[in-house]
Structure 1
Amino acid sequence: MNIKQSIVLRVRVVFILIALAAAAIPYQIIRLQLDEGDKWRAKAKTINFQYREVAATRGNIYAGDGSLLATSLPFYRVAMDPTMAKDGIIKDGIDELANNLSAYYRDKSAASYKRMIMDARHDKKRYIVLNRRQIGYQDMQKMSQWPIFERGRLGGGVLFEKVEKRYQPFKSLASRTVGFINEDEYGAGIEYSFNEYLKGQTGKALFQRLAGGSWKPVFDAEDVKPEDGSDVITTLDVNIQDIAETALLKQLLDREAEFGSVILMEVKTGEIKAIANLQKNKSGRGYGENYNFAIGDQGNTEPGSTFKLFSMLALLEENKVSLEDKVETGNGAYRFYDRIMRDAKNGGYGTLTVREAFEKSSNVAISKLVEENFGANPSKFLGYLDQTGLKEPFGFQLVGEGKPFFKTPGTKTWYGTSLPWISIGYESKLNPLHTLALYNAVANDGKMMKPFIIKAIAKGNQIEERFDPEVIRESIASEKTIAQLKELLEGVVERGTARNISNDEFRIAGKTGTAQKLVDGRYTRNYYTSFAGYFPADRPKYSMIVVIDSPKGFMAYGGDVCAPVFKEIANRVYALDMELNPSNQTLITEKEQEESPLPTIRAGKGSEIGQILAELGVPSVTEQSEEWVKTYAEEKTVNWKDNPMDQATIPDVSGLSLRDALFILENKGLKVDYTGKGRVMSQSIPAGSKLQPNSTINLRLG
């Protein structure tokens, strides 16, 4: 076979193969249409149409007074199906719509927006995103009135795709306690711990897959609407929370400390009114709420001398010591086996009574007493942990509660020095929440309450679940022991290591704590400082603990670092509390009202008061330049002076009628509760305090 014949043969073979392949294509098409058409049509529907989850609106988180701590705000992304509107509607409205889009977004010209819409309409695209920038609800309402958009989804093709964002009105206030949760449902705080309540039930809706991989919602009768989440109501008080964070931050900045925590709790119930956690930022500049040291594992540390309250409880319960017994501390150094215990005071305290030993926080005295009475049976000492409920976690409502740690006698980690060191707050771990619970129980006459921060789950105005105060131990010690422990705690403030915070207005009871920090197996000169206690000492309403880690500077002890923060917070909370301080802002006594021949109006609008006094013929002297005034009587003359209301602080509404007080306070974004009738006699938040929108202020009328 010559070359020519060979080439012709090959061409004929290739031609035949191509002809066979070409014939197979229509055959395969016909076979698919007839034999497998239903199968592939069904598959196409599942690819191009899907029922997808639609997230529910997340529930709100509220403070105990109704202030909003976290909510979901609706935002919208503007998309469009440009094929939906009729030709006449597009023709009449496209120019004005394009102008409005350009003027609002300021990113493209009107011609560009017009071309985008018209090109998509020409290409029969069923979905385009006009701009990825999200808009608020008010702007969405305005856009709904624009040409073409006013025809809605079916008539104009506009799609306002809802995107919800979590918003905290008080910004960083209690931010770590409020917490967060991400798309993988990992987070912290209330948002994470109560996610099952907050997230609601997801719905489902039919979506169509479009070119480019985007999905467009399609209305369908089988759509399932999502069920919004429930609201979580906390025990927090935003005013107390603000006071606690402000006082803590000031001391952290002054002492250049690593972190600090404050917990303030109501004695009788265990309700947490404030919980603050501030940690130095990684940059070293400023502080933020990055971790909940008050309850978490990282907050579990050697408590130091605040634990001496427990040691005294065990000693007094054994009836082997009295507060006036003497104990010899010598020069402030005492050997337990192979280690030396030292007091903070150089040269020691010499001979002390048990009362003085606690007030001065003598390590040597407390350790000697515990070793003498429990050295032969340390398990008996540690058995009081079960009696007080301090040995196990409380089952706190927020995820991440740290577990207390105490060595067990007879194990490999137990040494001859363990008992004396545990007795003064070393070789053990407690978080601030557990320490506070012990002090709260003493303030509560021995009854230990379970600390809690969530008091209700609600849907609208309907309470779905309520969390009531819970008793952990009816009594952690005998009445006699509790009374003696109260004496000791008051003595610390009156004569001991916290005498710098003694208060003439009300008494504070508490105990300082200073623990050397253990780093790489060695105790350092960095300290974990604390102060735990309650106030007022004679009628306890609030307990509180303040901890500050690694403060810098001279005298970095609990009494110097944490006690002043405790006092500042206590002073301001006491001033706020109308139950503790009912006469704080009383305007005028009944006797003064009876003796005065002048009208008892004490405040109001200057123009209205002037008119009333003129009608009554009462002489007056005015220094008025503001709209609102305060009045006071001098002999037979009514004087008045400005009472400015336009400042960014809590106004003074004392003396005003309820109508005027409501007008002023509600215009400042405050919620108002009131009791009684008549004019405002006192207000729960003092005038001049920092204004926190959505806070609740209580008025007493009379």
Structure 2
Amino acid sequence: MNIKKSIVIRVRLAYLVICVFACAIVYKICMIQFVDGEKWKAISNERRIFYKPVFATRGNIYSDNESILATSLPFYRVAFDPTIAETKAFNSGIDSLAMLLSRFYGDRSEDYYRRKIKNARLAGRQYIRLNSRQINYQDKKRMSGWPIFREGKNKGGVIFEKVEKRFKPFGLLAERTIGFINEDKNGAGLEYSFNNNLSGTDGEALFERIAGGSKPIYDGTEIEPQNGLDIKTTIDINLQDVAENALYKALEKTDAAYGTVILMEVKTGEIKAMANLGKTKGGYIEDYNYAVGAQGRTEPGSTFKLASMMALFEQSPGVNLTDTIDTGNGRYKIKNTYMTDAKHGGYGKITVQEVFEKSSNIGIAKLMEAHFSNNQQAFVDYLDKFGLGNTLGFQMEGEARPFIKSPQDRAWYGTTLTSMSIGYETKLSPLQTLAYYNAVANNGKKIQPIIVKEIRKSDKVIQSFKTRTLVEKVCSDETLKKVKTMLEGVVEHGTARSIRSAEYKIAGKTGTARKVKDGKYVREYSTSFAGYFPADNPKYSCIVIIDSPQGVNVYGSDVAAPVFKELADKAYARDLEMHKPLHARVTPEKYTLPQVTAGSLDDLSTICNRLGISSHPKTNDEEWVKVKTNARSLDFVPNPVMEGKVPDVTGLTLRDALFILGNQQLKVNVQGVGKRVQKQSLEAGTQINKVKQITIVLS
């Protein structure tokens, strides 16, 4: 066979293969199009139409007096279905709409928006996002009146996609305690711990996949979201502010690594302030909850001596505060190590009371050896009895687990008993130490600290929380009397005498613990002061921790105790119960109407109808009104919110005021405490383009 004939055969074979392949493709197309067409159309529709969650509005977080600590404000993204509008309406309105969009957003020309919308309409695209910038509620209302948009979502095609932003009216106050939660449902603080309550239940709506994204289909099958519940905390924002300021000043002064302050009511266990500040390049911020979490769990140092002395008195009731013990020259050998006291040359022979007041390490160690060396397990058993080995079951996630050694542990050495007795080789979080001191102030009853009082839906309480008893009685009344006397003596005569007050008595204990780095104790300290006040009738307990202060005076008495004193002074000054005031008699009026000054017309009308209160709206067009009280009825007078002008928010609740001012693009500073706005820094009617910030004062 010659070469030419061979080539012709190969070409014919190739042609035949291609023809067969082409026929197979045509056959498959026919099968898909005509035979299996309905099946594939169904699958296509099934994948094109899908359900998408509609997120619920997150609940509010309130302080103890119902000031808002965190709330959600609505914003919107503007999308558009250009295929919906009728041709006549579209052609007559597209030029005006493009001009308004260009002027509003200020980032693109009229021609850009006109071409974007027209091209999408010609291509049959049913969803385009006009701009990624979010708008507020006031802008949404204005846009709803623009050409084409004014026809609504069903005839005009405008789509306002709601986006909620978390807003904290008091800025960084209690930031870490309030906390956060991210899109992955990870977070910290109350936002994370109570997320199941705050988040509510998301709804569901039908969406259609189209070029450029997806668009909602309102066919009546959508499920409305159930908004989140509110939580009311125990936080007192005034005391929180004092705690943070006092702590911040101390940290800056000593260039410390971090600090924490907790203030708690003795009887109720309610935490009134919890401040946590950590050092960053820009200063100090709430970067971690040292009061509760693992990073704040440290060797407590001398504040732990209260537990050691309580165990001693329980083990040996015959030991009296006036008994003496020789602490020597300030240097004492235990096994192959030496223990020292802070005073050079030692304290010599001193009483048991003075051992505690002067915080003598040697005195405590000798007492432990004398009464527990033959039964070291008994000492640990007392610590368990006091509840120091267990977590508190605190309401916030992330509570650190206490670390208390046992003689059965391989790490229990010959020096462990004496070392533990002065606050080493054991670890507690600040909150756990405070709960123990609070038990002494509470006549021996150890209770669980709480930071959330109620979970509510509007004004209806869904669930309330009260403290529970962790240990009914940590020690005998005789022991309790001794340790109370010692704690008062620390402030009256001992290491904390610099914070002694003429107005009220303080009881407490200083602490200064050396820190461990690379397995060795170094000359860096964790300083602390824990106690309660007034000592004769305790109302508050408090702990202050300042870690790694720098400078010459780096002891608990120099660094932590003054922070305690500043907070205690402010708490005492503003708490009338501790001053036993005389209460004037108030004669109730025969007819009492609600003390309402302003609000939403819809909300106020609904409330009046439910309570059977006569009301007379002077308008039905305005959303916001002022209230005038007559003898037995309320008049609702228009309080219009005008575009570009500062609105009048006096008399409104904080949330309503934030909503209105935020929609007017004003940055809001909040001062004072209370439920309603007493005054505002900018006069109503002022042009907003001249100002960017407003201050409101609550009453």
Deviations 1:525-547 (A, max 9, x none): 11100000111112111100000
CA contact (8 A) 1:238 1:695 kept: no
Deviations 1:344-374 (A, max 9, x none): 0111111111111111111111111121111
Deviates more, 1:28-37 or 1:429-438: 28-37
Counterpart residue number, 2:48: 48
Counterpart residue number, 1:238: 237
Counterpart residue number, 2:571: 573
CA contact (8 A) 1:307 1:425 kept: yes
- SS of 1:402 mapped into structure 2: coil
Counterpart residue number, 1:133: 133
CA contact (8 A) 2:317 2:479 kept: no
**Distance (whole Å) between structure 2 residues aligned to residue 434 and residue 426 of structure 1:** 16
- SS of 1:373 mapped into structure 2: helix
**Distance (whole Å) between structure 2 residues aligned to residue 494 and residue 691 of structure 1:** 40
Extract structure 1 runs of 4+ deviating beyond 6 A. 668-672
2:295 counterpart of 1:298: yes
CA contact (8 A) 1:259 1:548 kept: yes
Deviation, 1:110, is 1.8
Cα pair distance change 1:324/1:198, threshold 3 Å? same
CA contact (8 A) 1:668 1:693 kept: no
Deviation, 1:117, is 1.2
Cα pair distance change 1:669/1:251, threshold 3 Å? farther
Deviates more, 1:19-28 or 1:359-368: 19-28
Counterpart residue number, 2:512: 514
Matches within 5 A, 1:448-463: 448-463=446-461
Counterpart residue number, 1:150: 150
Deviation, 1:393, is 0.7
2:313 counterpart of 1:311: no
**Distance (whole Å) between structure 2 residues aligned to residue 373 and residue 517 of structure 1:** 28
Matches within 5 A, 1:257-296: 257-281=256-280, 283=281, 285-296=282-293
Deviation, 1:445, is 0.9
Residue type of the alignment partner of 2:567 = I
Deviation, 1:342, is 0.7
Matches within 5 A, 1:483-498: 483-498=481-496
Counterpart residue number, 1:447: 445
Deviates more, 1:97-106 or 1:557-566: 97-106
Deviation, 1:93, is 2.1
2:237 counterpart of 1:222: no
Q: TM-score, normalised by structure 1?
A: 0.82
**Distance (whole Å) between structure 2 residues aligned to residue 692 and residue 539 of structure 1:** 33
Cα pair distance change 1:374/1:463, threshold 3 Å? same
Cα pair distance change 1:312/1:523, threshold 3 Å? same
Counterpart residue number, 2:323: 325
Deviation, 1:218, is 1.4
Counterpart residue number, 1:372: 370
Deviation, 1:409, is 1.0
CA contact (8 A) 2:170 2:670 kept: no
CA contact (8 A) 1:516 1:528 kept: yes
Matches within 5 A, 1:291-690: 291-317=288-314, 318-581=316-579, 667=650
- SS of 1:302 mapped into structure 2: coil
Deviates more, 1:91-100 or 1:15-24: 15-24
2:165 counterpart of 1:165: yes
Counterpart residue number, 1:96: 96
- SS of 2:577 mapped into structure 1: coil
CA contact (8 A) 2:302 2:512 kept: yes
Q: TM-score, normalised by structure 2?
A: 0.82
- SS of 1:229 mapped into structure 2: coil
Deviation, 1:697, is 9.7
Counterpart residue number, 1:638: none
**Distance (whole Å) between structure 2 residues aligned to residue 577 and residue 96 of structure 1:** 62
Deviation, 1:88, is 2.0
Matches within 5 A, 1:175-186: 175-186=175-186
Counterpart residue number, 1:202: 202
**5+ unaligned residues in a row in structure 1: which ranges?**
591-664, 673-689
Counterpart residue number, 2:600: none
**Distance (whole Å) between structure 1 residues aligned to residue 334 and residue 208 of structure 2:** 78
Deviation, 1:258, is 0.1
Residue type of the alignment partner of 1:419 = L
**Distance (whole Å) between structure 2 residues aligned to residue 15 and residue 372 of structure 1:** 107
Counterpart residue number, 2:671: 692
CA RMSD of aligned residues (A): 2.5
Residue type of the alignment partner of 1:500 = S
CA contact (8 A) 1:74 1:136 kept: yes
Deviations 1:34-91 (A, max 9, x none): 4322321121012211112222222222222112122222221111001111122222
Deviations 1:423-472 (A, max 9, x none): 11111111111110111111111111111112221122221111112111
Q: Aligned residues: percent identity?
A: 53
Counterpart residue number, 1:660: none
Deviation, 1:95, is 2.3
**Distance (whole Å) between structure 2 residues aligned to residue 666 and residue 84 of structure 1:** 40
Cα pair distance change 1:259/1:509, threshold 3 Å? same
Counterpart residue number, 1:636: none
Deviates more, 1:309-318 or 1:493-502: 309-318
- SS of 2:671 mapped into structure 1: coil
Residue type of the alignment partner of 1:512 = T
Deviates more, 1:287-296 or 1:90-99: 90-99
CA contact (8 A) 1:669 1:694 kept: no
Residue type of the alignment partner of 1:211 = A
**Distance (whole Å) between structure 1 residues aligned to residue 670 and residue 549 of structure 2:** 31
Cα pair distance change 1:671/1:239, threshold 3 Å? farther
Deviation, 1:6, is 5.2
- SS of 1:29 mapped into structure 2: helix
